[in-house]
Amino acid sequence: MIPALTHFLLFQASTGLKNVPRGGDDPFAVLDPQEWANPANMTWADWQAAPGTNWSDPSTTGLTRNFNIALIAVDYTDRPFEITLPAQSTIYGNPQPVAGISNITRDAVPDFYRDFLNKPGTLHKGHTLHEYWMEDLDGRFGVDLTVYGAYEMPLKSYQYGIDDDMNTGGCPSSDTCNIDIRTDALGTWRAAVGNATADSYELVFILSAGQDESSTWQEFGEMKFQTREDVPDSFGPPDNGTNYAKTRYVDWTSWAAASNIWPNAGGGSSTQAESSGMATYAHEFSHLLNIGDNYNNPIFQWSRGPSYALADPASARRVLDTTASYVTMGDYRQLLDALFHVGTRSGSQYEYEYMDAANGLHFYIIGVERGSAGVLSYTTAVRSSNSSTDTSTLAVALSDGKIITDGGNVPTGKGVTCSFGLKNTGERRIGVFG
């Protein structure tokens, strides 16, 4: 059976892989050693754009097309947009006192976030949502973003934020919670622009005023307060309920954090908040394209999380007690040392192959090329591992080895580099798919 082949590209950072030639002084040198870095230890100096591109510019168009997306900004009677407030005036210490975030009026909020997300600027070091997808998809698809609003929601913010799944028991006794923000946000938008305009967009981003729960449940829960009883009234509900509430990954967080919406995607729209940041939009957008969690905990901007060092000044954060703690199961750092590589002894958990037993697929890395411009390219293959449905014949033929004749490749006491011809002599059955 001939495996399906594909290529994917990686752009080497300044701390990336070095070119390890075949042969030379050490014929047994590791071909593709894994050298990984924790993003918490990286700085903007480690960033390198894809060679020969200007993908951060949203005026460029994907080779295939751009996604046509509407961004709808909504606020509440009890929660205005944080960027319209005085610096560090909220319980979260936001908005941050940085240039470009001052004297922003409510009417200017939609344009501000359109530019923040999809126009090169100083606040995000020149990066855009358009750039993210152009890089992910090798220049094939970009993002066009059109903004609407701001629209005021008919209910209080926590009535949309407190839900029956993650925050059971957190709704104030005098209110009704677990309200779907999409119903009111999309309904208000359609009433304002008309169905014809609304239907012209393939996807919709809903931007909710304030923080989101994904970027606050830990930072304004167990990271800020020693126990749930330590949560003060300033982080509590408007009634006499407890100042803590249930949340997604751990037993408790502050009620204020739990009352925020949790970013999610479905039905052609996704929900975010002011603290969500560009990475959250990219994450939820992937779900709208029917892609699973290609990375997790996408925290950025003013929120505090894996990338807080790029956003918050030290004075804005509580001094931690430095007690060692495991990262959560959903944290993207779980995968930092599990990259694919070509050859053996790379140091990666999965090296050159991975068996996806649940889907009956066997993935391989079968080739690597490092270009002079710094582009790292891998050739991958995948085959079905389900013998009951795959009736293809698996067979190969291997030729005699020949010594590679280059300047440094000569027989020594250590060894020599040889080349073998490997031919796939199997037969793929038509109509069989893994």
Query: Residue 11: what pLDDT?
Result: 40
Maximum average pLDDT range among 120-129, 185-194, 295-304, 380-389 = 185-194
Task: Grade residue 333 by pLDDT with cuts at 50, 70 and 90.
Answer: confident
Query: Residue 24: what pLDDT?
Result: 54
Least confident of 26-40, 184-198, 358-372: 26-40
Please state whether 191 falls in left (phi above 0), alpha (psi between -120 and 50) or beta. Answer: alpha
The rounded percent of the chain whose pLDDT value lies above 70 is 82
Task: Grade residue 17 by pLDDT with cuts at 50, 70 and 90.
Answer: very low
| Residues facing 10 on adjacent strands | 376
Query: Residue 181: what pLDDT?
Result: 97
User: Are 212 and 272 within 8 A, CB to CB?
Assistant: yes
Alpha-carbon distance of 125 to 173, in angstroms, equals 45
Q: What is the mean pLDDT of residues 350-362?
A: 87
User: Are 68 and 130 within 8 A, CB to CB?
Assistant: no
Task: Grade residue 162 by pLDDT with cuts at 50, 70 and 90.
Answer: very high
CB atoms within 10 A of CB 103: 7
Q: Which of 202, 57, 200 is nearest to 130 (CA)?
A: 57
Residue 21 has pLDDT above 70, yes or no: no
What is the overall mean pLDDT for the chain? Answer: 83
The domain locations on the chain are: 4-36+338-424, 40-335
Q: Mind listing the pLDDT tens digit for each residue in 255-299? A: 999 999 999 999 999 999 999 888 888 888 888 888 877 665 544
| Residues facing 206 on adjacent strands | 72, 271
| Residues facing 378 on adjacent strands | 8, 368
Alpha-carbon distance of 362 to 353, in angstroms, equals 7
Q: What single letter denotes the amino acid at residue 156?
A: K
- Tokens describing residue 74: 């909504």
User: Are 147 and 113 within 8 A, CB to CB?
Assistant: yes
Residue 388 has pLDDT above 90, yes or no: no
Alpha-carbon distance of 374 to 11, in angstroms, equals 6
Pairing outcome for strands 203-208 and 65-75: parallel
Alpha-carbon distance of 268 to 10, in angstroms, equals 30
Q: Mind listing the pLDDT tens digit for each residue in 189-231? A: 999 999 999 999 999 999 999 999 999 999 999 999 999 999 9
Query: Residue 35: what pLDDT?
Result: 86
Residue 374 has pLDDT above 50, yes or no: yes
Q: Which tops the pLDDT comparison, 38 or 332?
A: 38
Residue 395 has pLDDT above 60, yes or no: yes
Q: Mind listing the pLDDT tens digit for each residue in 59-93? A: 999 999 999 999 999 999 999 999 999 999 999 99
Least confident of 169-178, 248-257, 404-413: 404-413
Please state whether 25 falls in left (phi above 0), alpha (psi between -120 and 50) or beta. Answer: alpha
- Tokens describing residue 347: 């140091």
Q: Which tops the pLDDT comparison, 141 or 321?
A: 141
CB atoms within 10 A of CB 411: 9
Query: Residue 101: what pLDDT?
Result: 83
Task: Grade residue 434 by pLDDT with cuts at 50, 70 and 90.
Answer: very low
CB atoms within 10 A of CB 102: 12
Query: Residue 390: what pLDDT?
Result: 65
Listed as own residue / partner, the contacts of 412-416 with beta carbons closer than 8 Å and 24 or more positions apart are: 412/27, 414/26, 414/27, 414/28, 415/27, 415/28, 416/23, 416/27
Please confirm whether the linkage preceding 73 is cis (ω < 30° from 0). no
Query: Residue 407: what pLDDT?
Result: 62
Global model pTM greater than 0.85: no
Least confident of 89-93, 117-121, 346-350: 346-350
Query: Residue 15: what pLDDT?
Result: 36
- Tokens describing residue 107: 């009417």
Q: What is the mean pLDDT of residues 313-332?
A: 59
Alpha-carbon distance of 386 to 174, in angstroms, equals 56
